[in-house]
Amino acid sequence: MKAFFTLVFILLSSTTFASEQAEEIFAQLTPSLYQIKLIDKASGEKSSIGSGFQISNDGIIATNYHVISSYARHPEKYRIEYLDHQGKMAEVELVSVDVINDLALVKRQVEGEMPYFQLSDQKPSKGEKLFALGNPHDLGMIVVPGTYNGLKKESFNERIHFTGSINSGMSGGPVVNKSEKVVGINVATSGNQIGFLVPHDKLVKLFNNYNKQAPTDIKQQMAEQLLANQNKLMKALLNNTWQSKELAGKAMIPIIEVPFIRCWGDSNADKTDALILAAIANCSLDENTYLSSHFFTGSVEIEFRYMQAKNLSDNKFYHLYQQQIARAGAGNRAGKNDVSEYQCHHDLVAPSSTANTGKAINNKSVFCTRAYKDFSGLFDVLYLGASVDKNQQALVSHFTIAGVSQENAMAFTSKFMEAVSWK
Amino acid sequence: MEVTQCTEDYTTEIELTKQIKNDDLSLEQGEIIIEEISRNHKLIHRHKLSRNKVSIGRNYQNDIILTDPHICPEHLSLKYSQGIWYLNDNNSVNGTLLENKQDKRQDAHQQVINDGDVIILGKSQLRVLFSDHQVSETIALSPFESLIDLIRHPIAVFISLALFMLIAGNISYLNQQVETNISQLFVSAFSMSLLFSLWPAGVALVSHLTKNEPRILAQFGISFVFFILMWFSDLLEEIVAFNSASNSALGLLTALLPILLAFSLFWLNSYIGFHMSAKRRAIVAISITALLFGGTYLLQYSKKREFNPHPNYNATIMAPVFLIAPSNSVDDFVKQSNDLFEQASKAALEED
């Protein structure tokens, strides 16, 4: 009985301790917390909201890029305003962005000394208690306690896995440790207490670069970041091992052995009335880069589809097969103001790597590309290869890459085409 | 108000003198051909008369009896004298007009009639010709005639219909996503051929309505032969698209084939169904072809979205039996695809 009491007491005391700590943190940090609002100039109303926090004495406020993305893309249409804990509002200026890590720095006017957030100089340890701050759904500033669970597995651009409720509107808010130092920035959630944060070192780097030399043109800065990121990604894809793997025991397909490309499989083996047996392997990069609400980039999708006719004439099999490949679409969302229309080329292609062997394949190959309007030198590409050399079997190899340079796209295409064959 | 009556007393002094003159030279006898024609100058009836006086009217005593109620019982008479025919209107209610080759209409009273003149009386028209009238040159039988004779044979029509249904059935078989049975295919092939029958039936109906010979079997035969040819041209187009790269000129050539076939079909339809000059027939065929293809193009153009976020590529694939072209290497494909980047960049700048 005594032991039970002790247990309850310990539990009770630890929760009260946590809530006291949260209160304390909140009270101390509130003056440096802001709601960031994007105001549509024509209507005078807010078009999006997020959170932000001051990280320097001279009024630099950190937030997410996606909070102010509309302004970054169309500065003539919007203005950015902050709302502080006392209800004061004023316009701020966008000074730097990191579009890959979804960070942005805005600057407010300051008169005299101001409190600001300290950025941590070390990573948190797994299981450490953290506090996320922000203004969810415009309901007012709140503090959410949660746990640090290391970096998200299999991510190309690092994200912290935070167990705690991150809600929309909290985007751009800071996550601090017990000593009130910023260790991450709220960025995304996948529901049920799973939140994602941008690690603080990305912010440190952005802030240091800004202090060294402020960018003159935000669009130019974004273009450079996108170009550098696709170089890093494509280098990783091209230089890692491409494991040759069987598909349905009939075809050989490449699986790129990098942790951030994840594969899934499916088949219709259970559907006895299907005219064509199909087995699909699907690999993709789980993350993409947000440029605006209708424009995403940085995605990679690879798909292989093996098909076998069941009691069909060759002509009918190929007729149905053609319907399967007639509607390949872009892997990313982009609109009229973001990209050109696709330009396509098609031909019959036999890869030389397997020519004159039993594995030889003959494909109808289609390659399409569209150019980015604001970021010249970047393209979305799409490839589709459809085997045309077997009467009753077919192999479709397909990929899309968004936001890639011509050189990288063609190097990938060439390697990919040579890597697909029959078994 | 005085109501004009169709007078029966039509002899006048001048006429009498002529009559006398005529009697003096009674050895010579006039020969005249009178054609009853419709308003659009189509021949209804032809009379050839060898006499010096021809009376025309509604009365049964006339040489040429017309039923038009706007014509008087003894409307007019034609008289021959000294190698010249004269027209005399007998004070008819609605009068008589004479239209000569220069298209000049004039009131006809004591008028000289020339070869080819048209007499307009009431709502009827008569064309007057003399036996020395120059006829147009003989048109040689077109080689199409023998072809049409072959195609309009009931057995040939049956074969082309059967072939059409076979192709229609095959197409619906290819398009079915699930397993099908013969009766389903037959129904869709039958309804397809019924739908396509509307065209030759319509053409035959129009030619019947315009007082031409309908020649329904010939229309059916020729139309279905061309529908089959058009399907073959589709197949050819598909084979070319499958075997060639996107920058091939052969693709354009095969795109012209269906236009040519459609033109030929419309030309033959009008050749079979309507009498018209070669120039007019060509114009009609070109207009219908232009209407068909231009209309289709306009329809597609109007449906085209301002911006297409999806790639628009030709992914025609066919069973390996149709594969005749050699394949390219990956390097060449990549090299050719490289040009697309420049095109896309240019498009991105243009659309800005």
Helix intervals (H) in B25-109? none
pLDDT, tens digit (0-9, with 9 covering 90-100), for A26-53: 777 888 999 999 999 999 998 889 999 9
> Between chains, do A413 and B314 touch, taking CB under 8 Å as contact?
no
**What number of H helices and E strands is found in chain B?**
8, 11
Q: Is A343 helix (H, G, I), strand (E, B) or coil?
A: strand
CA distance A35 to B163: 75
* Burial classification of residue B198, based on how many CB atoms lie within 10 Å of its CB (0-12 exposed, 13-18 middle, 19 or more buried): exposed
Determine which of A58-72, B12-26, B113-127, B240-254 has the lowest per-residue pLDDT on average. Answer: B12-26
> Between chains, do B177 and A350 touch, taking CB under 8 Å as contact?
no
DSSP 8-state symbol, A164: S
Mean pLDDT of A234-244: 93
Question: For residue B242, which of A322, A304, A351 has the smallest C-alpha distance?
Answer: A322
Q: What is the pLDDT of residue A381?
A: 96
> Between chains, do A330 and B174 touch, taking CB under 8 Å as contact?
no
Q: Cβ neighbours of residue B174 under 8 Å, at least 6 residues apart?
A: A315, A316, A319
Contact status, residue A131 vs residue A143, Cβ threshold 8 Å: yes
Contact status, residue A143 vs residue A22, Cβ threshold 8 Å: yes
CA distance A329 to A400: 9
CA distance A416 to A384: 11
User: In the structure, what pLDDT confidence band is assigned to residue A18 with cuts at 50, 70 and 90?
Assistant: low
Question: Which of A295, A313, A340, A420 to mutate to probe the B interface, most B CBs <10 Å?
Answer: A340
> Between chains, do A369 and B174 touch, taking CB under 8 Å as contact?
no
What type of residue is A45?
E
H/E stretch holding B272: helix B250-273
Q: How many CA atoms lie within 13 A of A128 on its CB side?
A: 19
ipTM metric: 0.86
- The CA–CA distances, whole Å, from A274 to A142, A277, A307, A309 equal 54, 7, 11, 9
Q: Phi and psi for A300 in degrees, rounded to 5?
A: -130, 125
CA distance A279 to A265: 8
Helix intervals (H) in A339-405? none
H/E stretch holding A255: strand A251-256
Contact status, residue B191 vs residue B198, Cβ threshold 8 Å: no
Q: How many CA atoms lie within 13 A of B128 on its CB side?
A: 27
Q: Does B44 touch chain A (CB under 8 A)?
A: no
pLDDT, tens digit (0-9, with 9 covering 90-100), for A291-334: 998 999 999 999 999 999 988 899 999 999 999 999 999 999 99
Residue B2: pLDDT over 50 = no
Strands (E), A273-392: 276-285, 289-292, 295-297, 300-309, 343-349, 363-371, 379-387
SS3 sequence of A120-154: CCCCCCCCCEEEEEECHHHCCCEEEEEEEEEECCC
CA distance B151 to B157: 6
CA distance B73 to B87: 16
Contact status, residue B228 vs residue B222, Cβ threshold 8 Å: no
Q: Across the interface, which of A317, A365, A373 has its CB nearest the CB of B352?
A: A373
B206 or B19: which leads in pLDDT:
B206
CA distance, residue A251 to nearest chain B CA (Å): 18
CA distance, residue A346 to nearest chain B CA (Å): 5
Residue B17: pLDDT over 50 = no
* Terminal-to-terminal C-alpha distance of chain B: 81
CA distance B321 to B238: 13
Which residue of B lies nearest to A319 if distances are taken between CA atoms? B174
Q: Phi and psi for B250 in degrees, rounded to 5?
A: -65, -30
pLDDT, tens digit (0-9, with 9 covering 90-100), for A136-167: 888 888 888 999 998 888 788 899 999 988 88
Q: Does B252 touch chain A (CB under 8 A)?
A: no
Residue B15: pLDDT over 50 = no
- Calculate what percentage of chain B has a pLDDT beyond 70: 89
Total residue length of chain A: 423
Q: What is the pLDDT of residue B100?
A: 78
CA distance A286 to A260: 7
B41 or A403: which leads in pLDDT:
A403
DSSP letters for B145-204: HHHHHHHTSHHHHHHHHHHHHHHHHHHHHHH-SS---HHHHHHHHHHHHHHHHHHHHHHH
Q: What is the pLDDT of residue A356?
A: 84
Question: For residue B124, which of B79, B58, B77 has the smallest C-alpha distance?
Answer: B58
Q: What is the pLDDT of residue A20?
A: 64
Contact status, residue B135 vs residue B123, Cβ threshold 8 Å: no
Mean pLDDT of B74-99: 88
Question: Judged by CB atoms within 8 Å, which residues 165-194 of B form the interface with A?
Answer: 173-175, 177-179
Strands across the sheet containing B105-107: B43-50, B31-37, B124-129, B118-121, B96-99, B105-107
